[in-house]
Structure formats: C-alpha cells, structure tokens
Amino acid sequence: MSGPHVLLACLFFGELAGALYEPFGAAARAFSARAPLARTRAAGGAYAAGAVCADVAFFLLCGAIFLLFSALFRFPAFRPYMAAAAAGGFALWRGSLHRTLAFLSKKLYNTYRSGRRLKRRKRRPSGYDEGRKV
C-alpha cells in the first residue's frame, strides 16, 4: 500500500475506534458518577478508578485491533503519520459523528416516549365531536 492509502485506512480506523469507544465511554461515565470517593488524579482530571480501567481497556483493545488491521492490510513499518491519522479519525468521530448519533438517538427516544404517552391517554368515545364541545 502506498502512503495516501495507508493514511486513509488509518483515518478510517480512527473512525471505527471512535464508534468502539461509545460503550467504553458509557462505562467510564457510569463509574465516575457512582464512585465519587474513589477518585484519582489521572488524565488531567478527577476520574474514578473504574473509569481509568475502562479507558485503559479501550486503548489496549484499540491497539490490538490496530495491529490486526495493519497485518490484514499489509501496512509498511509504523510511521508517526499513521498514529496521527488514527487520532484524527477518532477526533473526527468525537467532534461530528458522535454528536449526530447522539442527536438522532435522542430524537428516536423522545419519539418513542411520546408515542407511548399517546397510547396511555384515555380514548374518547367514537361519537364524541370536538367541534361541538363549546
């Protein structure tokens, strides 16, 4: 593979890593919200130990998948632009596609909830006429 192809493949891998981070990020948020007393000063902020473990597990899994990805596509020897492209793809996911997905999932959830609310309302008799209510 030539350099531009490897760059695009690493960018795509970063996008996939961003999608893979969603469950790990949810676990990290759950751990940090539930264990306020077990905080450490890692990664520049206050996280619970479980959140740090979730992040470490994500990066280990991501590294293993990148090795598999590079062997599958027969990348040349590791170059710094590969890591930069993967990080750029991850940032691209977190900056744009993650927000789009969160917006759409919120819309779907609210549509589902409002549909359930309409089903629970009392149904009026079929002979009821809204126009003659006054």
Contact 81, 8 (CB under 8 A): no
Amino acid type, 112: Y
Residue 34 binned pLDDT confidence (cut-offs 50, 70, 90): low
125 is a domain residue:
no
Q: 32 in a domain, yes or no?
A: yes
Q: Does 92 fall in a domain?
A: yes
Each residue of 45-94: pLDDT tens digit? 555 677 788 888 999 999 999 999 889 888 888 889 998 999 999 998 88
What pLDDT is stored for residue 38 in this prediction? 46
Confidence band (pLDDT; 50, 70, 90) for 118?
low
Report yes or no on 28 lying in a domain: yes
Distances (CA, A) of 125 to 129, 130, 131, 134: 9, 11, 14, 17
128 assigned to some structural domain: no
What integer pLDDT is reported at residue 110 of this predicted model?
81
Share of the chain above pLDDT 70, in %: 72
Q: What is the number of domains present in the chain?
A: 1
> What secondary structure does DSSP assign to 11-44, as a single string?
HHHHHHHHHHHHHHHHHHHHHHHH-TTSEEEETT
Domain range for 19 is 3-120
